[in-house]
Amino acid sequence: MARRRERRVEPRQDRRRQRVGDSTPEDKLSDSGSSDRKLIIIFVVFFIVIPAVSVLVYSIKYGSSEKRPEPVVIERGLIKSDISFNEILHTHSKVEENPTRHYDYPVLAYITPWNSRGYEMAKRFNSKFTHLSPVWYDLKSQGGSLILEGRHNADKEWLLELRVEGEALVLPRVVLEAFPQELLKKKEQWDKAIDLIVTECKEMEYDGIVLESWSRWAAYGILHDPEMRNLALKFVKELGHALHSARSTWNPKQQLQLVYVIGPPYSENLQQHDIRPEELQSLSAAVDGFSLMTYDFSPHNDPGPNAPLSWIRSTLKLLLGPPGPKAARLAPKIFLGINFFGNDFVLTAGGSGGGAIIGRDYLSLLEKHKPIFQWERNSGEHLFFYSDDKDYRHAVFYPTLMSISLRLEEARSWGTGISIWEIGQGLDHFFDLL
């Protein structure tokens, strides 16, 4: 706005200079005085009156709202690189008495039926989430048709409690296991798949679904075929439009939503099976969010961090492109993946290679081995080492308040939401950050 004002003022000053040769001294003084008064008026209006009015309007509109307090874990000084096992054991269960949201962008939380703790966390910290996705459904080929399996997983009592206690949308995950050559090329199966999903949402009173299909299509090898790839994108769009044409039972003003799961690129250049930035843009009108799986960076046979911060940053740059209008429009639809699980790697030759580790097992390791934590600055993650009963050497990477906080700040800097896999696997005080 300041630059526009300067451009408007300069021509008037030039015109005054052109007339000065014909003016009397009195005219010049008069013009000078008048100009000074105008400048004073402009200054008062723009720098005093308008800001004062803005403050008044803001006070009237938001004056009754209290300033959102900082997370308790910040007040306690727990977000730091220098941590100890004893500190975690004594603080992990101490959380806010009245949980409130601290992260301003959307928060999608996954819940798995094989980990009942996730259901408890969803109820306990309901106010922290905007979307909840129980991992319940698979769409499969059966003979020449399709079936949607998973309703037996749905816990109606839990769903009702969520509705009563909070406002988070419930979008169960549906994994598309059906044979893509049949699903995408046969109109009857195409329509059947969409109908099964929309009907299930209506009958079970969901707010939409989270769809995972891209990784399955990549495994079938169809994304290398331009025709099949275009059909795959078209299917996602049609499903999104079909869901948008229906309404939520709990909120008739809310159309059913589609969140689409996408995998991250694992190299600096996009591979053929990776989803491309232009494809995300083409899907954005039909898709309400993209759940980006930025975790599982290090496989079990190659010990390392779960999700290096530099990799997360480069992934966002690859998918969103350079800063600008397009990136700004798409970023709010990205749910940046944050892991609440870790990995316990076996370093000794002859070991099993290790595997995933969740909160309760992590705490047991801290109690038993009393390890010394190390902060890996390059990845932005903590790790520790220990030796098991067979004298096998292990390396454990598991999220901490510091590592999660850094990832939330990265997401916030891009203006993205977050998705958590999965909330039953983390420590209680993780939720204070959300």
Residues 339, 422: Cα–Cα separation, whole Å: 7
* Count: domains in the chain: 1
| pLDDT exceeds cutoff 90 at 373 | yes
Residues 36, 332: Cα–Cα separation, whole Å: 47
As given in the structure block, the two tokens for residue 232 are 């795959």
Average pLDDT, the chain: 85
- What is the pLDDT averaged over residues 56-74? 52
Residue 68's pLDDT band (cuts 50, 70, 90) = low
Range of the domain at 297: 98-341+401-433
| pLDDT exceeds cutoff 60 at 175 | yes
Q: CA dist 345 to 175, 306, 349, 402, 423, Å?
A: 29, 11, 11, 21, 22
Residue type, 82: D
Q: CA dist 239 to 98, 403, 430, Å?
A: 38, 36, 34
Residue 67's pLDDT band (cuts 50, 70, 90) = low
Long-range Cβ contacts of 181-185 (<8 Å, 24+ apart): 181/220, 181/222, 181/228, 182/141, 182/144, 183/141, 183/146, 183/235, 184/222, 184/228, 184/231, 184/232, 184/235, 185/231
What's the pLDDT at 115? Answer: 95
Per DSSP, 255 falls in state: B
| pLDDT exceeds cutoff 50 at 43 | no
Which residues are registered as beta bridge partners of 396? 344, 384
Assess if residue 40 is contained within a domain: no
Residues 6 or more apart whose CB falls under 8 angstroms from that of 133 comprise: 108, 109, 110, 111, 170, 171, 172, 173, 210, 259
In the chain, % of residues over pLDDT 70: 84
As given in the structure block, the two tokens for residue 124 are 């306990």
Assess if residue 365 is contained within a domain: no
| pLDDT exceeds cutoff 90 at 38 | no
Instruction: Please write down the HEC assignment for all residues of 41-109.
Output: HHHHHHHHHHHHHHHHHHHHHHCCCCCCCCCHHHHCCCCCCCCCHHHHHHHCCCCCCCCCCCCCCCEEE
Residue 55's pLDDT band (cuts 50, 70, 90) = very low
Q: Three-state DSSP class for 201?
A: helix
What's the pLDDT at 73? Answer: 85
| pLDDT exceeds cutoff 70 at 429 | yes
Q: Who wins on pLDDT, 155 or 12?
A: 155
Assess if residue 84 is contained within a domain: no
Assess if residue 419 is contained within a domain: yes
Assess if residue 362 is contained within a domain: no
What's the pLDDT at 71? Answer: 84
Residues 379, 30: Cα–Cα separation, whole Å: 68
What's the pLDDT at 15? Answer: 30
Closest-CA residue to 216 (of 272, 258, 177): 177
| Block residue for tokens 């129980």 | 134
Output phi, psi for 167, to 5 deg: -120, 10
Q: Residue 133 sits in a domain of what CATH number?
A: 3.20.20.80
Assess if residue 42 is contained within a domain: no
Assess if residue 392 is contained within a domain: no
As given in the structure block, the two tokens for residue 239 are 């499903």
Measure CA of the first residue to CA of the last residue in the chain; give whole Å.
36
Q: Are 78 and 389 contacting, i.e. CB atoms less than 8 angstroms apart?
A: no
Number of H helices, E strands in the chain: 16, 15
| Block residue for tokens 């995933």 | 356
| pLDDT exceeds cutoff 70 at 56 | no
Lowest mean pLDDT segment, chosen from 107-111, 204-208, 298-302: 298-302
Assess if residue 355 is contained within a domain: no
What's the pLDDT at 423? Answer: 98
236-272 pLDDT per residue, tens: 999 999 999 999 888 888 999 999 999 999 888 889 9
What's the pLDDT at 268? Answer: 81
Output phi, psi for 348, to 5 deg: -75, 135
| pLDDT exceeds cutoff 80 at 2 | no
Q: Are 399 and 429 contacting, i.e. CB atoms less than 8 angstroms apart?
A: no
Q: Who wins on pLDDT, 90 or 25?
A: 90
- What is the pLDDT averaged over residues 409-434? 96
Q: Who wins on pLDDT, 165 or 59?
A: 165
**Helices in 166-225 by DSSP H: which ranges?**
180-185, 187-204, 214-220
What's the pLDDT at 5? Answer: 30
Q: Are 330 and 284 contacting, i.e. CB atoms less than 8 angstroms apart?
A: yes
Residues 6 or more apart whose CB falls under 8 angstroms from that of 347 comprise: 303, 385, 392, 393, 394, 395
Residues 125, 172: Cα–Cα separation, whole Å: 18
